Amino acid sequence: MADLDDAKVYQRFDPENMLEHLHGLPEQCRTAWYKARGLELPSDYADVDKVVVLGMGGSAIGGDLVRSLLAPQSKSFIFVNREYDLPAFIDEKTLVIASSYSGNTEETLSAFSQALKSDCKKMAMTTGGRLKTLAEDAGLPVFNIVIVSQPRAALGYSFIPLIAFLQKLDFAEDKSTEVEAMVKDLEKQLEEIKETVATGSNRAKELALKLHNRIVVIYGAGIISEVARRWKTQINENSKTWAFYETLPELNHNAVVGYQFPHELYSKIYVVLLRCPSLHPRILARYEITNDLLEQNAISHKFVDSRGDSQLSQMMSLIYLGDWVSYYLAILNDTDPTPVKSIDYLKKRLSEAQKGGESND
């Protein structure tokens, strides 16, 4: 097993330098925020009362996060669509935002092509590809993602700009102060969990060691529900490890009953309970009781608490920690965190099955 305190292991197992993107996330968020605030939206977009984000994988998670963040504050409807077809409720007061890092995600292109034939408002977030061409040919706003990375490493560009756009549309109050505070919180957190900090003082390394050779189950609730999804997908893609996520209070109505069998899995399961202080008091009580049930069934688990004052900081502090944990877990697995060979294989087979189809986040 790799020694996470040996600088040479990162050179050996991370030749494409995912580490650089982890270090760069705080500044990426800051840059994306100011870039998005500078993008002008047509005046008639001001009357939208619904927003639908089209996307898959690392390009869709920003929509999930912004929905979780703003849903308690906004009466407007925010929906994330991971399908080939648009939802039936699309109308002239709907803003459809197509988010695709590559611009060639086939599910997103399919739904966006349908949007182009409707009366809804439309815009795109991408580095290029067919999506950018379609949007520009239609005279639509395009937010250009400028970072070169795997889509999942461009979270600052898939999430933070959505806050800026929805703020322009009065879906949310001014978040400028919260965004800047969040970036500073991430910069401080980086100094505590980066690769040069020894394992004994590094909670990301310590948690990765606990998760090594385990099936990882992430629990979240409220604004942390989609953060749990992010942990799950990062562990899948970076660490190449089985991972699942569930949310409270729903899991208290079913999952807790399933702790008993099979006994053989007890030593292979590790549950991470993501938690933040802004959750409903009854949800926080459920966390404690769920902890008791896990202990009664001798299932390894750990509370992981957020940092920061605002809900945005609390969400992003947990996301950032999870990104580092998944990176360290990849190193412990002696695997390169960047490639996603199974997805590449799936895209190749889809292309063979129907020429012209190409899927990429």
For residue 324, is pLDDT > 90?
A: yes
Tell me the average pLDDT across 92-118.
Answer: 97
| DSSP for 188-230, written as a single string | HHHHHHSTTS-GGG-HHHHHHHHHTTSEEEEEEEGGGHHHHHH
CB count in 10 Å sphere of residue 305? 13
Summarize pLDDT for 7-28 with one digit per residue, the tens: 999 999 999 999 999 999 999 9
Q: Which domains does the chain have, with CATH numbers?
A: 18-174 (3.40.50.10490), 186-332 (3.40.50.10490)
For residue 358, is pLDDT > 70?
A: no
Q: Tokens in use for 3? A: 């020694």
Distance CA 93, CA 248 (A): 33
Distance CA 99, CA 97 (A): 6
Cβ 240 vs Cβ 326: under 8 Å? no
CB count in 10 Å sphere of residue 135? 22
278, exposed or middle or buried, with CB in 10 Å at 0-12, 13-18, 19+?
A: middle
Instruction: Work out the pLDDT band at 360, boundaries 50, 70, 90.
Output: low
For residue 356, is pLDDT > 90?
A: no
pLDDT attached to residue 10: 97
Q: Is 250 a catalytic residue?
A: no
User: Residue 292: which H helix or E strand, with range?
Assistant: helix 281-296
Please pick, among 106, 237, 246, 301, the residue that the annotation labels catalytic.
237
Q: Is 237 a catalytic residue?
A: yes
pLDDT attached to residue 235: 98
One-letter amino acid for residue 154 of the chain: A
Task: Please state, in angstroms and as integers, the Cα–Cα distance from residue 149 to each residue in 9, 16, 58, 102, 236, following that order.
Answer: 21, 9, 11, 10, 17
Number of H-type helices and E-type strands within the chain: 12, 9
Minimum mean pLDDT range among 73-82, 234-243, 300-309: 73-82
Look at the alpha carbons of 358, 14, 304, 318 in this order and tell me if their dihedral is positive or negative. Answer: negative
308 secondary structure, DSSP code: S
Summarize pLDDT for 270-317 with one digit per residue, the tens: 999 999 999 999 999 999 999 999 999 999 999 999 999 999 999 999
Distance CA 9, CA 248 (A): 37
Q: Tokens in use for 341? A: 């060979």
Q: How many residues does the chain have?
A: 361
Nearby residues of 77 by Cβ (< 8 Å), 6 or more positions away: 49, 50, 51
pLDDT attached to residue 357: 45
Is residue 88 classed as helix, strand or coil in its secondary structure? coil
pLDDT attached to residue 351: 87
Summarize pLDDT for 169-203 with one digit per residue, the tens: 999 899 999 999 999 999 999 999 999 999 999 99
pLDDT attached to residue 72: 80
Is residue 259 classed as helix, strand or coil in its secondary structure? helix
| DSSP for 144-195, written as a single string | E----S-GGGGHHHHHHHHHHHHHHTTSS---HHHHHHHHHHHHHHHHHHST
Please pick, among 253, 263, 341, 355, the residue that the annotation labels catalytic.
253
pLDDT attached to residue 12: 97
Q: What is the pTM of this model?
A: 0.96
Per the prediction, the chain carries an average pLDDT of 95
For residue 119, is pLDDT > 90?
A: yes
For residue 75, is pLDDT > 90?
A: no
Q: Is 93 a catalytic residue?
A: no
Cβ 251 vs Cβ 273: under 8 Å? no
